[in-house]
Amino acid sequence: MSAVEVQESEAPPPGYDEATADPSPPIQAGPSRLTLPRHGPSARHSDSDDPPRTAASRGRDSEPPLTQNPTQAAITYTFSPIDANSMLLLPPQTAADSRPLYHISWYEDFFRRGNMVTTVRRGGSADGDFVGMFDLKGGQKKGVVSLGMKRSFVSDACQCNAAGSRAIWRFSTAKLSATSPRYHWERNRTTNTMKCTIGGTTKIIAQSVSAGDDSVQRVDDYVDRLVIEPNGQTIQVMDEILLSFLVLQRLFVIQG
């Protein structure tokens, strides 16, 4: 597989709906914030004296955002554990709506020690709408990954180079279908960070920041984060970015 150069380019990546044959209508452009149900608890308190909300509290009283419209700037999301087998992906507390975007949970496979079967749901609880799941079967070629109602072998959806530093993710029910958008992930083994581009462009749409990154200056920032650029912020693209990122993280752990 040819190496992927991760360099900034002025040319924006192709839109998600141009790169896929999915007949569903595109997300309509709208205000630069999440579009949320009118009912349910308020995501932000008007009283500035309220204590900071923990990941657990932000998850319990939240409904999943229905859509997400791109903003004009990158958004940094935080992976925040809530117990030994689940975590949330949280937007900044300064966001227009700071409720969790995703709930991620996992359990150990009874037959394969160390194999974590992982499920991603929308919103802040295990009762949210199903986004996807994966079972890597301990790194075997016939691990399974699901995105919505579609299901595929991991080996069909993802190809990694021998060094474990680059991967192409192209999810489809057909093996590497030419109509599926291609996400190119590049891994920095020194910092344990990853960068993602889409299609044949080199413009980054997402990148991870590891808790062990030496650039972290504040102890409160010593957490794993995922930075999503504006052209990766539509909800369909974010679903695939997050799922592919989590799959690759587990594959890299298995491969060492």
Q: What is the pLDDT of residue 214?
A: 64
Q: What is the pLDDT of residue 230?
A: 93
Phi and psi at residue 245, to the nearest 5°? -60, -45
Q: 227 and 75 in contact (C-beta within 8 Å)?
A: yes
Measured in whole angstroms, the distance separating CA 140 from the mean position of its chain's CA atoms is 23
- Which residue, 28, 21, 23, 98, is CA-closest to 65? 98
- Which residue blocks in 94-228 are alpha helix, DSSP H? 154-157
Residue with tokens 């102890």: 219
* Domain 55-255 in this protein, CATH class: alpha beta
- Give the pTM: 0.70
The pLDDT of residue 79: 95
Give φ, ψ of 169 to 5 degrees: -110, 120
CA distance 101 to 239: 10
Q: Which parts of the chain register pLDDT below 50?
A: 1-54, 60-61, 66, 173-174, 176
pLDDT value at residue 122: 97
For residue 134, the model assigns a pLDDT of 95
- Cβ-proximal residues to 17 (8 Å cutoff; 6+ apart), any chain: 26
How far apart (Å, rounded) are the C-alpha atoms in residues 96 and 223?
A: 22
- Please tell me the distance from the alpha carbon of residue 226 to that of residue 238, in angstroms, as a whole number: 11
Residue 155, phi then psi, degrees to nearest 5: -65, -25
231 contacts 203 by C-beta, under 8 angstroms: yes
Number of CB atoms found within 10 A of residue 98's CB:
16
Hey, where are the domains in the chain? 55-255
In the chain, where does DSSP find H-type helix?
Answer: 16-19, 55-60, 154-157, 235-255
